[in-house]
Homo-oligomer: A and B are copies of this chain.
Amino acid sequence: MPGDWDPSPAHSMPSTFSAEAYFATQPPPPLLAQEIEGVKEFVARQAAQNRNVVLVTSGGTTVPLELNVVRFLDNFSAGTRGATSAEYFLKAGYAVIFMHRQFSLQPFSRHYSHSTNPFLDFLTVEDSDGTVGITPAKRADADLLAVLTAYKRVQAAGTLHTLTFVTVDDYLWLLRAVAQALSVLRRRAMYYLAAAVSDFFLPRQKLSEHKIQSGKGSLHIEMDQVPKVLKPLVEEWTRDGFIVSFKLETDERLLIPKARAALERYGHQVVIGNDLHTRKSWLRIAADGAAAIHAKEIEEDIVSELLRRHEAWIASA
């Protein structure tokens, strides 16, 4: 019953923040400056080696409902798309800044879920000397060897830099600062915004200090809209970067028109429209034209399509 969500602005105080107003009034995460130092060093090292760099954002953001966080609003995302795509970008020779929700999936380790593929099952306590060993089956496991080899190669090359966020506030501050640090690469930088970002947040001034008591009846939460950051990302934070956004809908009829409208409104390079029902197997890229993509691991095709377009973008400078 949509009536449970009342999108009318009737009750509210100022409820739509511009990006500018947002950053002027909300506090930054405490370690931001330090983290951005690390990003700048990473970007400089990649620039010196003439590598393209892609920022991959991944996983959902939370909206804490209390200052001492007990309850929060969350967006569904295990981080599969971001983690998988990051592997393909790395394989293609890109350096990757992987900015992900804490505890969401990560490139390489995503293959070894503690629930479905627990790594302790790979290990043995050796009868001979009581040391840790590998089960014979895993010692020659082709999948494990492939993942491990790719992982070691990336570690040796130093082409993966990981950042974490939890709240939508962490995400917004980090996105702006990373984009600004990456903008020195101009067209060689790609932004692959696969994180599932909340549309709403609670400004710091409205947060309850303690756990909200549950009382006896129903519960009302009044939230404000998260500022739209694609516009300032395109116009202010980056310079000539290749920007890819995602549009997730459950109502298929809204998907393509909304993807096209976003492209027109923000003037970036690619929108990937995503139907929640069939997200693993069906996907469209709407940019100049719309390309339908069908594949087993869709991220491989998305990434190769984007590499082609990014190359053209760099060449058209």
Contacts and interface: CB of A to CB of B under 8 A. Distances in A.
Contacts of A152: 124-125
Contacts of A250: 66, 68, 70, 209-211
B1 A205 contact: yes
A72 B74 contact: yes
A199 interface: yes
A62 interface: yes
Contacts of A16: 216-217
B1 A206 contact: yes
Number of copies: 2
Interface string A1-12: 110111111111
B217 A219 contact: no
A214 B202 contact: no
A143 B277 CA distance: 43
A149 interface: yes
Contacts of A118: 109
A276 B207 CA distance: 17
Contacts of A66: 250
Interface stretch (A87-95, A133-141, A174-182, A261-269): A133-141
A207 B2 CA distance: 7
A205 B214 CA distance: 22
Given A4-B206, A73-B71, A210-B251, A217 B120 contact: no
Given A114-B109, A148-B123, A205-B1, A217 B132 contact: no
Interface in A31-83: 62, 65-66, 68-76, 78
B131 A149 contact: no
A222 interface: yes
Contact of A148 (B5, B6, B125): B125
Interface stretch (A22-30, A100-108, A291-299): A100-108
A223 interface: yes
Contact of A140 (B11, B131, B148, B224): B131
Given A73-B72, A140-B131, A248-B70, A221 B4 contact: yes
B75 A103 contact: no
Contacts of A102: 115
Given A199-B214, A219-B222, A250-B68, A115 B138 contact: no
Interface in A218-254: 218-225, 248-251
15 contacts: A4-B202, A5-B221, A7-B213, A7-B219, A11-B218, A11-B220, A16-B216, A70-B248, A70-B250, A112-B114, A120-B151, A131-B139, A200-B214, A209-B250, A218-B223
Closest 5 pairs (CB-CB, A-B): A9-B217, A7-B215, A12-B218, A68-B250, A199-B214
Interface of A: 1-2, 4-12, 15-16, 62, 65-66, 68-76, 78, 102-103, 106, 108-109, 112, 114-115, 118-120, 123-125, 130-134, 138-141, 144-145, 147-149, 151-152, 164, 196, 198-200, 202, 205-225, 248-251, 276-277
